[in-house]
């Protein structure tokens, strides 16, 4: 596969990931937070088996099999349930924005635990990312700490899960870089997420699902965005222009907010967009700070 085609496929992954917040929220409105997520990850696992394939357990480094599974499953649970448990569409978009702090925290974790060198830009980058989230959650006023806290108190579970997920994904990325040894465990990990969600669903006494054309299409699109997004990204980073893909990925918060606003028919304020751009800018500064020292 030539580099241009692989890069284009990687860019498709960024587009698919930008749809995830809106699609998961839509699926949860049909099947519930837990049941909807279980269906999405089950179908996405099938898509991954068909596209990425199965990796033999014998090829996994033991540490990656254990810790990679724990961190990945925990992150995906936090991501899907934080969106599913959101009270309304606007809150789902805000929760998704909190999740997109992970690039900044990943860079910080790489510096602290992987001896990654960085320039002074890491400090303003980290600060701007956090300020962007404050701006997003502050409502109409933008920078409003009291308003942000009041907003979080309306649904601490969703916002808390989103923030914990950010830390978990940063830990997963940092650890994977050290112990995965080139093994791709995405198919196994997705199957484990689905299993955990089904167990949770059964323990909660989940009832039957009512499928119709609308709910079935939402489920299909959400699973495709999840499964094929990871598959496409894998092709892009292995055979495409990694620098271009990395740079484009830092704009996912804005792409995601735009797609979610359209798909969920939810208008977003100027202060929200200002905060989203700050999150992107902060992430980019953190990325530049590490590249400058390589």
pLDDT tens-digit series, residues 51-68: 888 888 899 999 999 999
3-state secondary structure the chain: CCHHHHHHHHHHHHHHHHHHHHHHHHHHHHHCHHHHHHHHHHHHHHHHHHHCCCCCHHHCCHHHHHHHHHHHHHHHHHHHHHHHCCCCHHHHHHHHHHHCCHHHHHHHHHHHHCCCCCCCCHHHHHHHHHHHHHHHHCHHHCCCHHHHHHHHHHCHHHHHHHHHHHHHHHHHHHHHHHHCCCCCCHHHHHHHHHHHHHHHHHHCCCCCCCCCHHHHHHHHHHHHHHHHHHHHHHHHHHHCCHHHHHHHHCCHHHHHHHHHHHHCCCCCCHHHHHHHHHHHHHHHHHHHHHHCCC
Number of domains in the chain: 1
Is residue 269 very low, low, confident or very high in pLDDT (cuts 50, 70, 90)? confident
Is 90 exceeded by the pLDDT of residue 74? yes
Cβ neighbours for 102, distance < 8 A, ≥ 6 positions apart: 165, 166, 169, 170, 173
Residue of 107, 141, 113 lying closest to 125 (CA atoms): 107
Across the chain, mean pLDDT equals 87
pLDDT of residue 198: 95
Q: Which of 73-82, 129-138, 255-264 has the lowest mean pLDDT?
A: 129-138
Q: Which of 15-24, 31-40, 176-185, 284-293 has the lowest mean pLDDT?
A: 284-293
Share of the chain above pLDDT 70, in %: 95
Neighbouring C-beta atoms of residue 157, cutoff 10 Å: 11
pLDDT of residue 141: 67
Length of the chain: 294
Alpha-carbon gap, residue 234 to 236, rounded angstroms: 5
More confident residue, 21 or 149: 21
Is residue 223 very low, low, confident or very high in pLDDT (cuts 50, 70, 90)? very high
Could you read off the pLDDT of 240-264 as tens digits, one per residue?
776 677 778 888 888 999 999 999 9
More confident residue, 225 or 179: 225
Alpha carbon of residue 100 to chain centroid:
7
Is 60 exceeded by the pLDDT of residue 222? yes
Alpha-carbon gap, residue 283 to 275, rounded angstroms: 12
Is 60 exceeded by the pLDDT of residue 88? yes
Is 90 exceeded by the pLDDT of residue 120? no
Count Cα neighbours of 135 within 13 Å in the Cβ-side half-sphere.
19
pLDDT of residue 12: 92
pLDDT of residue 191: 96
Is 80 exceeded by the pLDDT of residue 293? no
Is residue 28 very low, low, confident or very high in pLDDT (cuts 50, 70, 90)? very high
pLDDT of residue 165: 93
Range of the domain at 57: 3-292
Q: Which of 24-28, 38-42, 143-147, 270-274 has the lowest mean pLDDT?
A: 143-147
Is 60 exceeded by the pLDDT of residue 80? yes
Could you read off the pLDDT of 170-209 as tens digits, one per residue?
888 888 878 888 788 889 999 999 999 999 999 987 777 8
pTM of structure: 0.89
């Amino acid at each position: 596969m030539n580099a241009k085609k692989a890069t284009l496929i990687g860019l498709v992954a960024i587009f698919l990931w930008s749809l995830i917040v809106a699609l998961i929220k839509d699926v949860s409105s049909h099947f519930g937070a837990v049941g909807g997520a279980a269906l999405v990850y089950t179908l996405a696992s099938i898509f991954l088996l068909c596209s990425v394939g199965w990796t033999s357990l014998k090829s996994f480094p033991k540490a990656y099999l254990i810790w990679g599974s724990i961190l990945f499953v925990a992150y995906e649970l936090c991501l899907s349930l934080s969106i599913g448990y959101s009270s309304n569409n606007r809150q789902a978009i805000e929760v998704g924005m909190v999740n997109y702090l992970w690039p900044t925290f990943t860079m910080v974790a790489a510096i602290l635990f992987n001896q990654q060198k960085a320039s002074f830009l890491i400090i303003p980058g980290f600060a701007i990312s956090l300020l962007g989230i404050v701006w997003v959650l502050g409502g109409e006023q933008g920078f409003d700490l009291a308003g942000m806290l009041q907003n979080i108190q309306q649904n601490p579970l969703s916002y808390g899960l989103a923030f914990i997920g950010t830390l978990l994904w940063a830990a997963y990325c940092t650890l994977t870089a050290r112990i995965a040894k080139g093994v791709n465990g995405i198919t196994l990990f997705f199957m484990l997420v689905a299993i955990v969600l089904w167990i949770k669903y059964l323990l909660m006494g989940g009832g039957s699902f009512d499928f119709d054309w609308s709910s079935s299409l939402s489920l299909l699109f959400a699973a495709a965005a999840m499964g094929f997004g990871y598959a496409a990204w894998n092709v892009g980073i292995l055979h495409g222009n990694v620098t271009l893909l990395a740079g484009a990925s830092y704009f996912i918060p804005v792409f995601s907010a735009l797609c979610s606003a359209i798909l969920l028919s939810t208008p977003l304020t100027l202060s929200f967009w200002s905060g989203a751009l700050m999150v992107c800018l902060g992430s980019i500064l953190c990325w530049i700070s590490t590249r400058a020292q390589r």
